[in-house]
Amino acid sequence: MTQPRTDQPLSDWARNDWTREEIAALFDLPFTELVFRAAEVHRANHPANEVQLSTLLSIKTGGCQEDCGYCAQSVKADSGIKATKLLAVQEVLQRAAQARDNGSTRFCMGAAWRNPKDRDMPAIIEMVKGVRAMGMETCMTLGMLTPEQAGMLSAAGLDYYNHNIDTSPERYDQVITTRTMEDRLDTLSNVRMAGINVCSGGIVGMGETRADRVGFIHTLATLPSHPQSVPVNALVPVKGTVLGDMLADTPLARIDDVEFVRTVAAARITMPGAMVRLSAGRESMSEMTQAMCFLAGANSIFTGDKLLTAPNAGDDNDAAMFARLGLKAMAVQQTEAEVAAERMPKGCAKLEAFG
């Protein structure tokens, strides 16, 4: 895990005994005070003004048996997304090479599965090895994993496994009924025990209360060790999903930008070493809100026009935003700087467009 870059006491840096009251008190701070504190923690632990560019690829789309109320890929959603088979390894590697040439240093592969089947593992392992050989950090999100599957991914060299807790323990069963928060935490434990970096976060703007957002951050910040990566998604409301339709009927339930930035800041303060990833929902976020997120400690975005199935901001818009804000694309993720210095291929053409 990353080591603190300053004299910030390790006990603060790594503490996982946060109480809900302490986290609620952070959320209750005057906004500028909260953002100021988060920015201080960010600067003490990460290079200022640097944001990692990551690319997402859906390697298996739609037809998922789970009933996550936000997700267009669930069989329960009437979203028009067609189920596909797992992509061929060669196709995934071609897409990864394009992502690398466009400046990404991280390639995340997502499958709409409740869990991978053992017969899928050989292809998955080839994908991890191939993307890694290109010098990019690898992340996979495939649903629940057994300890054996986590061990196989670790042996293949997988850097991160993404598995979100999504919301507070109290709200969980109103969003998903086909698996429990405990199931989710068990997979995170299998991933951690296999020595893979944990990527776990959730979604803000699903009609939850502030207490739920506190509970969500609290659950992550009190895991046996902090996730090395915390994606904070703003719900992309998709027609035909339970939550997308609910929000269409009650637009006032949509998250306000100030509360979204507060959530990013709380993640940054409570988990200082983590990469905090400003994930889904940027396409409908103003540049100023995104700038506030970067000030409050977000240091990674997904690039390109598409996430897994939902639209994303697009490279040209992002390059323009980076130029206006004076942000730099992080050449390699800080936690892997030395490893990646050797792995990084020469001539990542579009990196320069991002500063």
235 binds, among ligand DTB, ligand SAM, ligand SF4, none (CB under 5 to 8 A by kind): ligand SAM
**Whole-angstrom Cα Rg for the chain:** 19
Do 61 and 92 form a contact (C-beta atoms < 8 A)? no
To ligand SAM, the closest distance from the beta carbon of 188 in angstroms equals 11
Closer Cβ to ligand SAM, 44 or 123, answer by number: 123
- The pair of structure tokens assigned to 312 is 């994303």
**Which of these segments, 66-74, 118-126, 234-242, 287-295, binds ligand SF4 (CB under 6 A)?**
66-74
CA 16 to chain centre: 20
Q: What residues numbered 113-152 form the site for ligand DTB, per CB under 6 A?
A: 141
Q: Residues with catalytic annotation?
A: 64, 68, 71, 108, 139, 199, 277
Per-residue interface string for the shown chain with ligand SF4, residues 45-64, x marking contact by CB under 6 A: -------------------x
Nearest-approach distance from CB 167 to ligand SF4, in angstroms? 12
Q: Which is nearer to ligand SF4, 42 or 184 (CB)?
A: 184
> Judging by beta carbons within 10 Å of its beta carbon (0-12, 13-18, 19+), is residue 128 exposed, middle or buried?
buried
Scanning the structure block, which residue is given the tokens 């869990």?
Answer: 115
Distance of CA 253 to the CA centre of its chain: 23
Hey, CA dihedral for 231, 345, 191, 38, is it positive or negative?
Answer: negative
72 in contact with ligand DTB (CB under 6 A): yes
Q: How far is the CB of 17 from ligand DTB (least distance, A)?
A: 26
Alpha helices in the chain (DSSP H): 10-13, 20-28, 31-45, 89-101, 121-133, 147-156, 172-175, 181-193, 210-221, 242-249, 257-270, 287-295, 315-325, 337-343
For residues 186-215, which are near ligand SF4 according to CB under 6 A? none
Structure tokens at 177: 């009924």
- In the block, tokens 């109320």 appear at 69
Residue numbers at the binding site for ligand SAM (CB under 6 A): 70-71, 110, 112-113, 141, 143, 163-164, 166, 202-203, 233, 235-236, 238, 280, 308, 310
Q: Which of 35, 77, 108, 292 binds ligand DTB (CB under 6 A)?
A: 108
Q: Which of 38, 56, 112, 124 binds ligand SF4 (CB under 6 A)?
A: 112
**What does 274 interact with, of ligand DTB, ligand SAM, ligand SF4, none (CB < 5 to 8 A by kind)?**
none
Residue among 136, 137, 67, 140 at smallest CA distance from 109 = 140
Ramachandran assignment for 135, one of left (phi > 0), alpha (psi -120 to 50 degrees), beta (any other): left
308 binds ligand DTB (CB under 6 A): yes
230 lines the binding site for ligand DTB (CB under 6 A):
no
| Upper half-sphere CA count for residue 206 (Cβ side, 13 Å) | 26
Could you tell me which stretch among 67-75, 213-221, 331-339, 342-350 binds ligand SF4 (CB under 6 A)?
67-75
**What would the two tokens of residue 261 be?**
């930035």
What residue type is 46 in one-letter code?
H
Shortest Å, Cβ 145 to ligand SAM: 10
Nearer to ligand DTB, 279 or 290 (CB): 279
Q: Which does 74 bind (CB under 5 to 8 A by kind): ligand DTB, ligand SF4, ligand SAM, none?
A: ligand SF4
| Residue 18 interacting partner from ligand DTB, ligand SF4, ligand SAM, none (CB closer than 5 to 8 Å by kind) | none
